[in-house]
Structure 1
Amino acid sequence: MTRILLTGASGFVGKVLHRRLLADRHEVFGSVASSPAPTDSGHHYEVMDICDRTSVDAVIQRVRPTHLIHLAAVSNVAVSFKNPMLTWNTNVIGTLNLMESLKAHAPDCFTLFVSSSEVYGETFKRGELLEEDAACAPMNPYAASKLAAELAVTQYLRQGLSGVIVRPFNHIGPGQSADFVTASFARQIALIEAGLQPPVLKVGNLEASRDFLSVEDVCDAYARLVGVPVGRLEHRVYNISSGSSRKIRAVLDELLAHTTVPIEVQTDPERLRPSDIPVAAGSNRRILAELGWAPATPLAQTVESILDYWREQIAAG
């Protein structure tokens, strides 16, 4: 049986992936940054600060993982601008601590390092589906820190450790922070429906196109990669993408189709990014050819589940 150490287990993606890995009958140890650890039935958690090498060593030695899935990160672009030191320390030094600890205490462990499609940055301006060998040109501290972490992980892989790097595109679903666009729309709609916000929905750039995925599909890709016997994967980097893009306006329209009250949509200048990329989408040909993976969840289904989640959150106070 595989023993998986899952960092960032209490986050948006971590919770979904934790459930999926348990369903696949893996032994999973989820790590969280601070006490108290969650008390979900059937889940095992370890408190581990990835920025503290002593803490990392203690958990690696205790768990002795056969696989590491490294999700833990500062992942919000706005936060990365406001607090670059926290972003670089968490995303780069935290990753180095994990890789050094694996090298010392679990050298046979397979690492799935979760990077981001944000690393492509300015290359998206080509307006085409990007393959994994496209140039990386980060446009914010978050993306730059992720690319630096990729380079660090690659050095350990060259030294004999095993693993892969994944670059997921925009994944959405219930439980995502309202700092992200789809969740922000859904939360505002739920507040309006509940009479807690005037019937005006504040938005940013609706014309930008993004490669949207259900978080369930993204976690399916991670689970498939972990399920491949060590040494059998053909590549070191994999896009997790749909291979197409949709305007943010289309996602908003899907949400508005499920609303129960009239809502006015209003552009908020503070939500506009001056350096927004018009189109960001990735090719999934590599992972499709190798693992047969492609997203299976319709966008409408995902969007409706997000709105239902926020309705429940607002109703619960």
Structure 2
Amino acid sequence: MSSVLISGINGFVGHHLAKALSDQGFRIIGTGMQPKPTAAIADLIDQYINCNMTDAAAVSRLPFEAVDVIFSLAGLAKVGDSFAERQKYMAVNVNVLAVVCERLLKQKLPTKVIAVSTGAVYDPNQPLPFTEDSKLIKDGSPYAVSKVMMEASARRYIEQGLNCLIVRPFNHIGPGQEAGFLLPDLYAKIMAASRGDGVVSVGDLSTARDYTDVRDVVRAYSGLIEAETSAGSIYNICSGQPIGGQVILDKLLQKTGLSGKLQIKYDQGLARQNDPKLIYGSAAKLQQATGWQPQITLDKTLDDFIGA
């Protein structure tokens, strides 16, 4: 039975990855900033360690020798928050991976590292869909720039012999996603409006993004554990199908029985400056390596989110 370590296991994606790997029989060690694991995953994992993954001394005490694969999920992921916390995002998102890589190289451990980047690293001003060879941004949100820097750091360790893959998941949504992202924020506004003044204030919903259910995303991660891959390989994880923000809003209104009952108000102050209208990617490389395909429809994702 293979053993894995998941950093940031208490997060949105960490929860779903823990469940997916537990169902497959993996032995799971999780780390997080909280004193203990959340109740949702406590019975799914074999060991939990309270650890700041940017702290080299703390990371040096983790049982890396006992695991075959490390999923580096720890980090900061809210694009909106990153503009007010630029330096924090840069430091945390680079160091949560660099500290792990430094220790693995120092001890010459063969552990496979799956470093989680983002589809936001691509320069939006180029042909679609984005492939792993598309140009990366030189300027963008602090979140996206921090992931470009993280990837550059990873490549230096790969050149020194580290067995590390980089995955670039595009926007993912699903049950349990917290505030700060489109789906939970729209749903919260709809529910608040239904109990209050009946007005839902939104930003620019004409933009379209490549959304994948988080359960499909973690299935892609798990498929890379046993896949024949080369160190330094990069894989997009995406559906290849852009979905407009307006589509998600309309479906949420329909599913909550509130279509036509609320006033939708466009607030320019909620729109991001210079936000690209259309972004989507190609997961052909991942599909060739593992056979992965997204399976969960948007309607099921929304139903499960509402019902969670």
**Which residue does 1:236 correspond to in 2?**
233
Hey, what's the Cα distance between the residues in 1 that align with 2:275 and 2:55?
Answer: 35
**Which residue does 1:297 correspond to in 2?**
296
Which aligned pairs between 1:215-234 and structure 2 lie closer than 5 A?
215-228=214-227, 232-233=229-230
**SS of residue matched to 1:86:** helix
**SS of residue matched to 1:286:** helix
List per-residue Cα deviations over 1:13-66 (Å, max 9, x = no partner): 1001011011111111111013244352242311110111000111145x6321
Q: Which amino acid aligns with 1:241?
A: C
**Which residue does 1:284 correspond to in 2?**
283
Gaps of 5+ in 1: 310-317
- Superposed displacement of residue 178, structure 1: 1.8
Q: Number of paired residues?
A: 302
Q: Which amino acid aligns with 1:170?
A: N
List per-residue Cα deviations over 1:164-205 (Å, max 9, x = no partner): 100000100111122101111112223344x2x322112111
List per-residue Cα deviations over 1:253-287 (Å, max 9, x = no partner): 11111122312211122210112011110011111
TM-score (norm 1): 0.90
Q: Is contact 2:164-2:232 (8 Å) kept? A: no
Hey, what's the Cα distance between the residues in 2 that align with 1:263 and 1:188?
Answer: 11
Which aligned pairs between 1:235-254 and structure 2 lie closer than 5 A?
236-254=233-251
Q: Is contact 1:119-1:146 (8 Å) kept? A: yes
**Which residue does 1:81 correspond to in 2?**
83
**SS of residue matched to 1:144:** helix
2:141 matches 1:144? no
**Which residue does 1:27 correspond to in 2?**
27
Hey, what's the Cα distance between the residues in 2 that align with 1:247 and 1:79?
Answer: 22
List per-residue Cα deviations over 1:236-264 (Å, max 9, x = no partner): 10000111211111111111111223122
State which of 50, 55, 60 in structure 2 corresponds to 1:57: 60
Q: Is contact 2:89-2:142 (8 Å) kept? A: yes
Q: CA RMSD in A?
A: 1.7
4+ residue runs over 4 A deviation? none
Hey, what's the Cα distance between the residues in 1 that align with 2:256 and 2:44?
Answer: 36
Hey, what's the Cα distance between the residues in 2 that align with 1:113 and 1:234?
Answer: 11
2:257 matches 1:260? yes
List per-residue Cα deviations over 1:90-130 (Å, max 9, x = no partner): 1112211111112223621000000001111xx22335101
Q: Which amino acid aligns with 2:23?
A: A
TM-score (norm 2): 0.93
Hey, what's the Cα distance between the residues in 1 that align with 2:127 and 2:152?
Answer: 25
Change in CA separation of 1:297 and 1:2 when aligned onto 2, cut-off 3 Å: same
Gaps of 5+ in 2: none
Q: Which amino acid aligns with 1:293?
A: W
Which aligned pairs between 1:305-316 and structure 2 lie closer than 5 A?
305-309=304-308
Change in CA separation of 1:288 and 1:217 when aligned onto 2, cut-off 3 Å: same
Q: Is contact 2:210-2:241 (8 Å) kept? A: yes
**SS of residue matched to 2:49:** strand
2:13 matches 1:10? no
Q: Is contact 1:125-1:278 (8 Å) kept? A: no
